Structure 1
């Protein structure tokens, strides 16, 4: 199951369609949906997690904690709504489009995709674009 949680005033308008899209992505990647929690928060909330758990003293748009067991995906995906808004502005894209990219990015990590090297990042972006094109 996909759950959406809010630590800020922000709320998704289309939880059901997003959950269906995430589910379809997981199946297409040959994985099984376990429990995936999305937590929408602000920069301060995510920064504290970044420092405490990853020892990174930087702002970020998304942090995912992967508790998957084999191909059964489980995890917590924290998204800073503030950072996504800023990134959308910086990248010249729509906020909702950028938010959807970050949403699927976390799940793609659980499916085994990495983004640390240039080659891995290119493959991740290609997968993001592919699944974004399937979102109605």
Structure 2
């Protein structure tokens, strides 16, 4: 499994967050029974960096907490059976890994939201990572039903890594 973490913010982001992100990504994949070795790219940035990307890709001129850029189009969320392993569309030709996509998290928002919601920075980082991993695996929260499914799955993932409420 390749988890590529790009740190755009320097010392505010430490090795403990690196380990936490990796643990949450692995727990997410395990929960959804992903049968493939995978590649996920994570960028940790600040409000300025995420605002620029949010403007470019979503036409939203404001910072957000997390952005997800899935590379796989799931017909059914979390259903890996639909992926043709023989196709080079979703798999890295050099490593053979399934390229799920890219995640971008604003560390400024992690700190703001942890304070606002009264929980730890680890919990907020873990929550945003789990949330985004579910997006990479085809889940969304456009309807009440989808939102409930995602919320339950996020809590299950966080519980597996010791970040329950």
What is the distance in 1 between the residues matched to 2:73 and 2:140?
Answer: 17
1:4 is displaced (CA, Å) by 1.2
Q: Is the 8 A contact 1:4 1:38 kept in 2?
A: yes
Q: Is the 8 A contact 2:114 2:121 kept in 1?
A: yes
1:89 is displaced (CA, Å) by 1.2
Aligned residues: 136
Who is 1:117 aligned against? Answer: 143
Who is 1:62 aligned against? Answer: 66
Q: Is the 8 A contact 1:105 1:128 kept in 2?
A: yes
SS at match of 1:86: helix
Give the number of the structure with larger relative contact order, counting CA–CA contacts within 8 Å between residues 6 or more apart.
Answer: 2
Which blocks of at least 5 consecutive residues in structure 2 are unaligned? 75-79, 81-97
**1:8-32 residue CA offsets vs partner (Å, 9 max, x unmatched):** 0232423346424422421331323
| Greater radius of gyration (CA) | 2
RMSD: 1.9
What is the distance in 2 between the residues matched to 1:5 and 1:28?
Answer: 25
Q: 1:23 is matched with which residue: 23, 26, 29?
A: 26
TM-score by length of 2: 0.74
Q: Which has the higher strand share?
A: 1
> Higher mean Cα deviation, 69-78 or 3-12?
69-78
What is the distance in 2 between the residues matched to 1:24 and 1:94?
Answer: 19
